[in-house]
Amino acid sequence: MERLGIIMHGVTGRMGMNQHLLRSILPLRDEGGLLLADGSRVAIDPIIVGRNAAKIRALAEAHGIARWTTDLDAALADPDDTIFFDAGSTRMRAGLLRRAIDAGKHVYCEKPIAESLEEALTIARHAQKAGIASGVVHDKLYLPGLRKLAMLKRGGFFGRILSVRIEFGYWVFAGDLQPTQRPSWNYKAAEGGGVILDMMAHWRYVLDHVVAPVRAVSCLGATHLLERRDEEGRVYVPDVDDAFYATLELEGGIVAQVNASWCTRVRRDDLVTFHIDGTDGSAVAGLHRCWTQGKVNTPRPVWNPDLPQPLDLREHWSEVPETQVCGNGFREQWEAFLRHVVEGAPWAYGLMEGAKGVQLAELALQSWRERRWLDVGSLEESGKDAGVAGHAGDVR
């Protein structure tokens, strides 16, 4: 059986460990490898890399991973390992990707792919010039709730889409009464933190691919919590945004409102909700479930501040049934990317697509600083290089 060696960096962290290693790569390994279109399989052989030898050894021993190392250079030098994956901190990502590309590896990584658009475009061009396959995580598109929204749009349910609302977030504990549930680097500028840089990359591909391309942005960021404690209980002062409130214009005049906060207590259907209103119908989706209200079953509420609302406003919504089995989205992405590498299967989420997310984050930060609307141009315009592709394509 053909073997596929994968260098995995940053998998001692929450996302890298849980979603990429434990729920994606190891199940693929344990189930006999990656299934190809011709019915054959490719064995998956990961090597995990980290700076803390005790942590990386313990992780390897706990999950039967034969290979681990603290020497990234040695791992990159092994010609038998052809793919490099990174889920570490944003600050380190572009440099790590460059090292892997220079070593001739195909690269796959978490988002954002860099801290600035210039850096993102540079590394994406570098991958294209090297002729390697590249990929960036786009997990939200695999959510069952968003898949249902996309199906409704394909079926013409909404009519003409008018507006979109995305509400994301939850309370991230400051570490005083309860331990924090996010790494402290998320709140430090020197380490690539900030919710705008982190989450705008997600909302860019969600809006572009589920609703309509983003054309302009106005954003207000905030640092709501002025003190937090790190993993060792030491007090520090956050110096990046922990919430943002944005309005975006999409192609066709669609208005999108996007709120994301690590300082909000949840009273909605899920930790993230997507609400689309159209001339013929509306839909609201969470991570898994989706509800619709069509033109013919829209109630007629009456505004009367003197009486309690007589209508149950949730009663007139119908749930979209479960018609397809959805697996773990991170694993599905991995399988698609690995098939792209091994057999040239279609793949639309290379590093140039990742650069679009960085572009929107950078413009949102600029909008906040300058307190004004900014147009979201093509990557050619943003990169001031007519040779830069404006969309992801096959980079093999």
Q: Is the pLDDT of residue 16 over 90?
A: yes
Which range among 19-33, 53-67, 134-148, 372-386 shows the weakest confidence by mean pLDDT? 372-386
Give the pLDDT confidence score for residue 91 in this predicted structure. 86
Give the pLDDT confidence score for residue 387 in this predicted structure. 29
pLDDT in tens, 171-183: 999 999 999 999 8
Q: Is the pLDDT of residue 354 over 50?
A: yes
The first and second tokens of residue 183, run together, are 């790494």
Q: Is the pLDDT of residue 392 over 50?
A: no
Secondary structure of the chain in the HEC alphabet? CEEEEEEEECCCCHHHHHHHHHHHHHHHHHCCCEECCCCCEEEEEEEEECCCHHHHHHHHHHCCCCEEECCHHHHHHCCCEEEEEECCCHHHHHHHHHHHHHCCCEEEECCCCCCCHHHHHHHHHHHHHHCCCEEECCHHHHCHHHHHHHHHHHCCCCCCEEEEEEEEECECCCCCCCCCCCCHHHHCHHHCCCHHHHHHHHHHHHHHHHHCCEEEEEEEEECCCCCEECCCCCEECCCCCCEEEEEEEECCCEEEEEEEECECCCCCCCCEEEEEEECCEEEEECCCCEEEEEHHHCCCCCCCCCCCCCCCCCCCCEECCCCCCCCCHHHHHHHHHHHHHHHCCCCCCCHHHHHHHHHHHHHHHHHHHHCCCEECCCHHHHHCCCCCCCCCCCCC
pLDDT in tens, 276-318: 999 999 999 999 999 999 999 999 988 989 999 898 889 999 9
- Is-same-fold flag (2-139+329-350+376-383; 140-319)? no
Give the pLDDT confidence score for residue 391 in this predicted structure. 28
Q: Is the pLDDT of residue 274 over 90?
A: yes
| C-alpha span between 15 and 110 (Å, rounded) | 9
Give the pLDDT confidence score for residue 329 in this predicted structure. 93
Give the pLDDT confidence score for residue 1 in this predicted structure. 78
Give the pLDDT confidence score for residue 390 in this predicted structure. 31
Give the pLDDT confidence score for residue 324 in this predicted structure. 84
So what's the architecture of 2-139+329-350+376-383 in CATH? Answer: 3-Layer(aba) Sandwich (3.40)
pLDDT in tens, 104-150: 999 999 999 999 999 999 999 999 999 999 999 999 999 999 999 99
Q: Quick one: average pLDDT of 245-250?
A: 98
Q: Is the pLDDT of residue 90 over 90?
A: no
Q: Is the pLDDT of residue 60 over 60?
A: yes
Give the pLDDT confidence score for residue 35 in this predicted structure. 95
- Model confidence at 381, pLDDT cuts 50, 70, 90, reads low
Q: Quick one: average pLDDT of 27-52?
A: 96
Give the pLDDT confidence score for residue 191 in this predicted structure. 87
- Model confidence at 380, pLDDT cuts 50, 70, 90, reads confident
Angle at 11 between CA 10 and CA 17, to 5 degrees: 145
| C-alpha span between 141 and 123 (Å, rounded) | 24
| C-alpha span between 253 and 213 (Å, rounded) | 10
| C-alpha span between 273 and 269 (Å, rounded) | 7
Give the pLDDT confidence score for residue 325 in this predicted structure. 85
pLDDT in tens, 211-241: 999 999 999 999 999 999 999 999 999 999 9
- Provide the residue ranges of all domains of the chain, joining segments of one domain with +: 2-139+329-350+376-383, 140-319
Q: Is 1 exposed, middle or buried (0-12, 13-18, 19+ CB in 10 A)?
A: exposed
CATH node for 140-319: 3.30.360.10
- Model confidence at 389, pLDDT cuts 50, 70, 90, reads very low
| C-alpha span between 318 and 281 (Å, rounded) | 11
Give the pLDDT confidence score for residue 382 in this predicted structure. 66
Give the pLDDT confidence score for residue 326 in this predicted structure. 87
| C-alpha span between 389 and 378 (Å, rounded) | 9
Give the pLDDT confidence score for residue 242 in this predicted structure. 97
